[in-house]
Amino acid sequence: MKIKFAIISIISAAFLCYSCSAELAKGSETEIETFQFLEYPEQQISLSFEGITTQMPVEIEDLRMTPIFTISRGATASPASGEKQDFGKTVKIGVTSEDNLYFSLYEVNVNYPHSTVDFTTLSIADGQYEYGKEFNLGYMKLSSTASDGLVKFKGVGKSNTAAGTVPSDKTLSQFYPNAAQKGKSMMVSTTYDINSATMIEFTRPVNIDTITFTPSVMMATAMTEGLTAAEYGVDVKALNADDKDVLKVHFAGYDKNGKLVAEKEYILADFSYAANTFARTEKQHYNLLTSLIREIKYLKVYLSGTRTDIPAVFFIDAMGYKVLPQPTE
């Protein structure tokens, strides 16, 4: 019996040792080794231990795609390769090693390149005007409504006529700061009230990076010299230190539901401190990267200040922004 037991024991020990060897032979790796999208096999992918990223062309809006990937020998992945996912949001892929002792989690993110609209594509003939139009610029739409009065538009407009050649009924509001800017700016007429401000609508959520802002000749003249009734229809006194005048421009971002996300203001003129007064009448490059105007669908632009009679007519020469992915399910 002892021998039999011993044999049994020996057999049991041998079986246990074999089991240990087999267990040790199982893989402990949890890597995604290759990755691509079935729908876009040529798309460049960045694959590392930090995660998986790709930069899709901005025209691709529907991000429901099928990931095709390979993983370490014997490992398992969830979700598995070949299962379509909505990459409009971060997709997480978990990889478990063959020996069930190790686990890695990969995040897959889709990015879009930074976009800049400089308005050079909106070509119209010299001497022509566009009022109350709706311009579609890639992933941005600027809406406006024609209005009566000395300012011939409310919202945005465009002109290829340089200063000195504008018909008298068009007023100074049609002047570009210089002839070199003909056809390269979007003229904007806004208000001093956020509720009626000019609004730029993006067809997809964006982060605003930069805006190039230039006061019109009419606005700059009003700030520094004032306007007469003959020029503007009413008398406008220049900003001055006696009144401690201040003028600001505001950029307010809203989400898809129309909820205010964040607002950023910049000082255009400040006469509150007599020893250091200024009026910014030249081109201004506003960097909004550090602001909280992120993931917005709408951007309102308006003015505020100690006075509201300075004509709120200016130019946006360029706008830089980053289109963001959004769920498509």
pLDDT digits (tens, 9 = 90+) for 266-310: 999 999 998 899 999 888 999 998 889 999 999 999 999 999 999
What do you get for the CA distance between the two ends of the chain, in Å? Answer: 70
Q: If you write DSSP's letter for every residue of 293-320 in order, what string do you get?
A: --SEEEEEEEEEES-S-S--EEEEEEEE
45 touches 35 (CB < 8 A):
yes
Q: What pLDDT is attached to residue 127?
A: 57
The amino acid occupying position 328 is: T
To 10 degrees, the CA torsion angle through 289, 293, 298, 299?
A: -70
pLDDT (tens place) for every residue of the chain, 329 residues total: 212 122 233 333 333 444 454 455 788 999 999 999 999 999 999 999 889 999 999 889 999 999 999 999 999 999 999 999 999 999 999 999 999 999 999 999 999 999 888 776 666 666 556 656 677 777 878 765 544 444 444 566 665 555 444 444 444 444 444 444 555 677 788 899 999 898 999 989 999 999 999 888 778 888 998 988 876 778 999 999 999 999 999 999 999 999 999 999 999 999 999 889 999 988 899 999 888 999 999 999 999 999 999 988 888 888 999 999 999 86
Give every CB contact of residue 155 below 8 A, 6+ residues apart in sequence.
Answer: 132, 142, 143, 144, 145, 188, 189, 198
Q: What pLDDT is attached to residue 50?
A: 83
Distance CA 310, CA 248 (A): 11
C-alpha distances (whole Å) from 283 to each of 32, 80, 150, 216, 251 are 50, 53, 24, 10, 16
| pTM score | 0.79
Give every CB contact of residue 162 below 8 A, 6+ residues apart in sequence.
Answer: 175, 176, 178, 179, 182
Place of tokens 């340089």: 162
Neighbours of 108 (CB within 10 A): 23
Judge whether 32-111 and 115-323 match in fold. Answer: no
**Strand positions, DSSP E, 103-160:** 103-111, 114-117, 129-130, 135-137, 140-142, 145-146, 153-159
Q: For 32-111, give the CATH class.
A: mainly beta
Distance CA 132, CA 144 (A): 5
Q: What pLDDT is attached to residue 86?
A: 97
Instruction: Classify domain 115-323 at the CATH topology level.
Output: Jelly Rolls (2.60.120)
For the chain, the domains span: 32-111, 115-323
